[in-house]
Amino acid sequence: SPSIVWFRDDLRLADHPALRAAIDRDEPIVGLYVLDEESRDIRPLGGAARWWLHHSLASLEERLRERGGRLILRRGPADRIVRETAADLGAGAVFWNRRYGGPERDIDAGLKQSLRDDGIEVRSFAGSLLFEPWTITTGAGTHFSVYSPFWRACLAQPAPRSPLPEPRKIQGPSRTPASDDLADWDLLPTEPDWAEGLRETWEPGEPAARRRLREFLRDDVDSYDRARDRPSAGATSLLSPRLRWGELSPHTIWHASIESGDSSGFLSELGWREFAWHTLFHFPDLATKNLRSEFDAFPWPRLSPAALRAWQRGRTGFPIVDAGMRELWRTGYMHNRVRMITASFLIKNLMIDWRRGEEWFWDTLVDADAANNPFNWQWVAGSGADAAPYFRIFNPELQAKKFDAEGHYVGEWAPEYRAEDGQPPQPIVDLGATRKDALAAYEKVKQAS
């Protein structure tokens, strides 16, 4: 009786524990992907994420087929679809790698039970995090709310396991089960086709992910610490969408970095990803609720749609902010330093609720991540896991001087600020006055705490 491998945020063949276990079971294997837009509380994917998913699934389908396997696509509420598919195929086993979001865990737990009740073997595996959230606890047995001690506790654990090899051959089913046509899922934009910049920038799929990892470790990792904060330096790994979609496992990246002799701070960035997921696991409403409840008292003024629109479109009159927002719109990516600057500007100079910014990033980032995105927005807002939440207000002009001193980044994404005859947008706010207002608002929160 066949085994079903249910693929979710792990669109790869190498270091895929659920796939490995299915191979070891020695029965025909069917890969399954479910596009679930119906289950309760599942957050719908943003536009850029849908684009990525389409191409990454196409790549995975091809790679499974080359090895003799199959990927079938189904759309609908996951609990129903997985049970139906298992019944259809007369499956003897269903395997998957674990997910850590609240609604996803509820679905998976329910399914585990109902499939087992039907006599089907169900097993789940750790494939997407180096340290599963519940395994890292403080001395008092609680979860962590500060990064440094969290990461120290992770590093005190046994080292993450070595990555599993990529299978060469996969035994497919004797009859090909019915599958949706990927094109019918309408994951790609049609009119207007805004994905040109995404196509120019990215090649989704596991093979390109592995190439990028090799290239980064060969060419860039040595200068990572020195150059990672400069947005025009091309010094970071660009692996975030690969991790988001699981085209690479964190174990693969971890071990490849160590083997390459990396001693930079690169691995500690993976630690931030672990910490964001640790936080989401213990606080499933991270995208909608303040982690620190005293921030519920934040006196957000009434939303100015025009200001939000100017920010989204990169027309604020602040060169580095506009450059960042345009990089995002064009490529589905923005450099980390500029993410911090643009987020701080939205919250502290435009006084717009961090949730509006989080939603825009969710829709436009190819690496839009259920934990990393709200975690970092809350960090910038001060409502999150930051030890000094009340006073950090970036000045976009000083930040640009420091991190884009020669103006290369602004020149690339917002060239009118650099050209002699350019006609840049005028600043939509006064930095000094808005800074004062923000400090006053933060003072209110502080008093409420």
Summarize the annotated binding site for FAD as residue ranges: 224, 236-240, 266, 367-369
- Residues annotated within the binding site are 224, 236-240, 266, 367-369
Question: Could you say whether residue 243 binds ligand FAD (CB under 6 A)?
Answer: yes
- Residue 239 CB, shortest distance to ligand FAD, in Å, is 4
Q: Which stretch binds ligand FAD (CB under 6 A): 11-19, 71-79, 158-166, 366-374?
A: 366-374
Residues 273-292: x where in contact with ligand FAD by CB under 6 A, - otherwise, as a string: x--x----------------
Task: Give burial (CB, 10 Å; 0-12/13-18/19+) of 31.
Answer: buried
Residues 347, 349: Cα–Cα separation, whole Å: 6
In the complex, least distance from residue 374 CB atom to ligand FAD, rounded to whole angstroms: 8
Footprint on residues 370-409 left by ligand FAD (CB under 6 A): 372-373, 376-377, 380
Beta bridge partners of 29: 3
Angle between helix 354-364 and helix 47-66 axes, rounded to 10 deg: 40
Residue 331 sits in the site that holds ligand FAD (CB under 6 A): no
Smallest distance, ligand FAD to C-beta of residue 404, A: 15
Q: Is 122 in the site for ligand FAD (CB under 6 A)?
A: no
Confirm or reject binding of residue 249 to ligand FAD (CB under 6 A). Answer: no
Tell me the window of 49-57, 146-154, 158-166, 265-273 that interacts with ligand FAD (CB under 6 A): 265-273
Give the residue, chosen from 343, 347, 351, 385, that forms a contact with ligand FAD under the rule CB under 6 A.
Answer: 343
CB of 339 to ligand FAD, least distance (A): 4
Binding test (CB under 6 A) with ligand FAD, winner from 228, 278, 330, 348: 228
Identified binder of ligand FAD from the candidate list 97, 128, 171, 237, rule CB under 6 A: 237
Of 56, 59, 236, 395, which one interacts with ligand FAD (CB under 6 A)? 236
Site string for ligand FAD, 135-174 (x = CB under 6 A): ----------------------------------------
- Three-class SS string for the chain? CCEEEEECCCCCCCCCHHHHHHHHHCCCEEEEEEECCCCCCCCCCCHHHHHHHHHHHHHHHHHHHHCCCCEEEEECCHHHHHHHHHHHHCCCEEEEECCCCHHHHHHHHHHHHHHHHCCCEEEEECCCCCCCHHHCCCCCCCCCCCHHHHHHHHHCCCCCCCCCCCCCCCCCCCCCCCCCCHHHHCCCCCCCCCCHHHHHHCCCCHHHHHHHHHHHHHHCHHHHHHHCCCCCCCCCCCCHHHHHCCCCCHHHHHHHHHHCCCCCCHHHHHHHHHHHHHHHHHCCCCCCCCCCHHHHHCCCCCCCHHHHHHHHCCCCCCHHHHHHHHHHHHHCCCCHHHHHHHHHHHHHHCCCCHHHHHHHHHHHCCCCCCCHHHHHHHHHHCCCCCCCCCCCCCCHHHHHHHHCCCCHHHHHHCHHHCCCCCCCCCCCCCHHHHHHHHHHHHHHHHHHC
> Is residue 269 part of the contact set for ligand FAD (CB under 6 A)?
yes
365 binds ligand FAD (CB under 6 A): yes
Q: Does 96 bind ligand FAD (CB under 6 A)?
A: no
Of these, 89, 93, 239, 445, which contacts ligand FAD (CB under 6 A)? 239
Binding segment for ligand FAD (CB under 6 A), chosen from 119-127, 129-137, 338-346, 410-418, is 338-346
Query: Using the rule CB under 6 A, which residue among 244, 251, 278, 356 binds ligand FAD?
Result: 244
Nearer to ligand FAD, 5 or 380 (CB): 380
Q: Does the footprint of ligand FAD cover residue 240 (CB under 6 A)?
A: yes
Judged by beta carbon, residue 60 or residue 238, the one nearer ligand FAD is 238
Is 248 among the residues that bind ligand FAD (CB under 6 A)?
no
Interacting residues with ligand FAD (CB under 6 A): 228, 236-240, 243-244, 269-270, 272-273, 276, 336, 339-340, 343, 361, 365, 367-369, 372-373, 376-377, 380
